[in-house]
Amino acid sequence: MVAAAAGAGTQPGAAASSPTWQAVVQKRVLNLPVKNGAAKTRLAVSLEGRVVEQFDIELADGRPDFWVGLDAAAWQAKTVLVTAGGQGGPAVSRGLAAIRQGDALEGADDLYREKLRPQFHFSARRGWLNDPNGLVYYKGDYHLFFQHNPFGIQWDNMTWGHAVSHDLMHWEQCPDAIKPDRLGTVFSGSAVVDWRRTSGFQSGPSGQSGTEWPIVCTYTSAGNPFTQSLAYSNDRGRSWTKYEHNPVLGCVAGGNRDPKVVWHAPSKTWIMALYLSGNDYGLFASPDLKHWTQLQRVALGQECPDFFAMPLDGNPKDLRWVLTGAGGEYLVGRFDGRRFTAEAGPLASPFGYAAQTYSDIPPEDGRRIQVAWLRGGTYPGMPFNQQMTFPCELTLRSTPAGPRLYRMPAKEIELLRARTHSWSDVPLVPGENPLAALVRDLYDIEAEILPGAASEVGFHVFGTRVTLKAGDGRIKLRMLVDRTSIEWFRDDGRESHAFCYLPAPGSQPLELYAKGGAARIVSLVVRQLRSAWPSPAGGQ
């Protein structure tokens, strides 16, 4: 039997007039109605007298804009009490009364087929998304954690959302991994596999058949003050346990946050890059992920550092270390386990925001794969907000100006390719569009163009202009077009940019144009892409 009613009970310690909802859980999901722009309400979810969830939500008291779901799989046959903070009033009572139990997310019939849903860039099922967190590979799974508001489309309730993919293209969103607690909400961080069992988190004897190595997440507990904490998994990232002695690093300076942890093999030490304050990052060392010693400060930028080793020009005997900041700034240098010495930079490589690279990619693969937050988009009427950049492969190459990062789309994009159109050695004349017959909305484009007499050459993508500039008299471009984003890569990835757009109603899907005179298409390959989601919505 399920019983649900406003005012059916109170959370211990709450005012007697606080609106509530109470029921015996019989389904896997508690669906809550959301109305964008409604007054925020603080809800507390209690189980057997203990608060297990607290969050802010724009609770709908009438027809909701969309529904969000609370994972109730672990609460079966138990009584759950949902209490609104404060007086709430009739609107909150009506919103609580509308809560529904279900076997799936309410209103999910259109999931991943929404009008403005990215089709091969990751976005959260519901709610807000920003920084990628904890990018780690383990036993065939690419894990993508992300800053997430599960209960609304604006930044709030910072939680680590979680998704898993076998191929970087097709993602399955898992239950949220790390939720707010007494130490604060959960800001950005990183994840590693503790292959050497330094942390003591592994369950079961080492080497025992079926035993998993722990995946350990280091994240910022955003309370007052900000501190750094740990969570770990012994079941391939399917469930998570917070370290009982969190935090493992107290406040060092200012709003210190966003720890990126890597293993430094020569010194057999864990290294943490941590944003401190101003333009300063700190480097720290630990033998076990629990006890940290500061090594040095490095001036670079603000927020979300990444720190990793890369072979210069593909030579594994000539390693450099790269320290990046949230805005795309980076330094290239050497690191001996105690001190980082910059040799080039700061350099600019803007491509999304808060980029992070995967840890624990197998040596036989050897790639450095990067994902960033593709911030800034707006998605009117959608139950989600923001998206990630497409996974890219980084290389470090020598140039006359010194070592530079290059970035190109991950090769797995080939898994989504459908029909291919190609042109070679043809004129591009003002007023003509060789792509006029293409009517889909998902593309992978490779172009090499000689501007010739043209004063401007570029693309129009659903009304958005992408102007191309010739460097040495030749334009060499790779461009990915999704339903609400464009990413382009110049000169084999030496320059790259990503931005969001909204399709203009009635506009031509794809146009290649020249102005002021004729240009020449040396080669042009346009590959239509399929959707990466289970129910394709375009790009066939």
| Domain ranges across the chain | 20-108, 111-409, 413-529
Which residue in the block uniquely carries the two structure tokens 């990466």?
532
Task: Report residue 534's pLDDT band, with 50, 70 and 90 as the boundaries.
Answer: confident
For 413-529, CATH gives 2.60.120.560
Full DSSP string of 347-373:
EE--SSEEEEE-B---TTT--EEEEEE
β-strands 353-357, 368-374: how paired? antiparallel
Task: Report residue 203's pLDDT band, with 50, 70 and 90 as the boundaries.
Answer: confident
Task: Report residue 208's pLDDT band, with 50, 70 and 90 as the boundaries.
Answer: low
Token reading at 121: 């860039």
User: Residue 15: pLDDT above 50?
Assistant: no
Residues 80-99: pLDDT tens digits? 999 998 766 888 999 999 99
Half-sphere exposure of residue 405, counting CA atoms within 13 Å on the CB side? 32
Distance, CA of 250 to CA of 183 (rounded, Å): 11
Q: Which of 272, 283, 275, 236 is nearest to 253 (CA)?
A: 275
Distances (CA, A) of 34 to 22, 126, 401: 19, 11, 53
First vs last Cα of the chain: how many Å apart? 46
CATH fold of 111-409 reads Tachylectin-2; Chain A (2.115.10)
Distance, CA of 6 to CA of 424 (rounded, Å): 68
> What is the b/e burial string over 472-507, where b = at least 16 CB atoms within 10 angstroms of the residue's CB?
eeebbbbbbbbbbbbbbbbeebbbbebebbebeeee
Is 131 labeled as catalytic in the residue annotation? yes
User: Contact 141/164 with Cβ under 8 angstroms?
Assistant: yes
What contacts 209, CB < 8 A, 6 or more positions away? none
Task: Report residue 222's pLDDT band, with 50, 70 and 90 as the boundaries.
Answer: very high
- Backbone dihedral angles phi then psi of residue 492, each to the nearest 5 degrees: 60, 25
Q: DSSP alpha helices (H): ranges in 413-538?
A: none
Q: CA angle 163-499-382, nearest 5°? A: 55
What contacts 478, CB < 8 A, 6 or more positions away? 408, 409, 444, 445, 446, 488, 489, 493
Residue 93: in which H helix or E strand, if any? Answer: helix 90-97
pLDDT of residue 7: 38
User: Contact 96/45 with Cβ under 8 angstroms?
Assistant: no
Task: Sheet containing 66-71: give its strands across.
Answer: 66-71, 29-34, 100-102
Report the amino acid identity of residue 420.
T
* Catalytic one of 65, 131, 441, 444: 131
Please state, for a pLDDT cut of 90, what percent of the chain lies above it: 89
Q: What is the mean pLDDT of residues 102-124?
A: 94
Residues 233-286: pLDDT tens digits? 999 999 999 999 999 999 999 899 999 999 999 999 999 999 999 999 999 999
Around Cβ 1, how many Cβ atoms within 10 Å?
5
Residue 91: in which H helix or E strand, if any? Answer: helix 90-97
Distances (CA, A) of 435 to 37, 300, 439, 481: 41, 43, 9, 14
User: Residue 347: pLDDT above 70?
Assistant: yes
Residues pairing with 411 in the sheet: none
Around Cβ 53, how many Cβ atoms within 10 Å?
20
User: Residue 11: pLDDT above 70?
Assistant: no
Distance, CA of 54 to CA of 59 (rounded, Å): 14
Length of the chain (residues) = 540
Q: CA angle 481-483-486, nearest 5°? A: 35
User: Contact 169/416 with Cβ under 8 angstroms?
Assistant: yes
Around Cβ 320, how many Cβ atoms within 10 Å?
18
Question: What is residue 13's DSSP assignment?
Answer: T
pLDDT of residue 349: 87
Q: What is the mean pLDDT of residues 42-60?
A: 95
User: Residue 371: pLDDT above 70?
Assistant: yes
Q: What is the mean pLDDT of residues 121-144?
A: 98
pTM for this predicted structure: 0.94
User: Contact 438/421 with Cβ under 8 angstroms?
Assistant: yes
What contacts 448, CB < 8 A, 6 or more positions away? 474, 475, 476, 477, 521, 522, 523, 524
Residues 22-31: pLDDT tens digits? 999 999 999 9
Q: What is the mean pLDDT of the chain?
A: 93
User: Contact 159/124 with Cβ under 8 angstroms?
Assistant: no
pLDDT of residue 17: 67
User: Contact 446/478 with Cβ under 8 angstroms?
Assistant: yes
Which residue in the block uniquely carries the two structure tokens 């807000």?
128
Task: Report residue 535's pLDDT band, with 50, 70 and 90 as the boundaries.
Answer: low
User: Residue 166: pLDDT above 50?
Assistant: yes
User: Residue 536: pLDDT above 70?
Assistant: no
User: Residue 18: pLDDT above 90?
Assistant: no
Distance, CA of 343 to CA of 322 (rounded, Å): 10
What contacts 191, CB < 8 A, 6 or more positions away? 133, 134, 135, 136, 143, 145, 215, 216, 217, 218, 359
Q: Which of 229, 230, 269, 231 is nearest to 250 (CA)?
A: 229
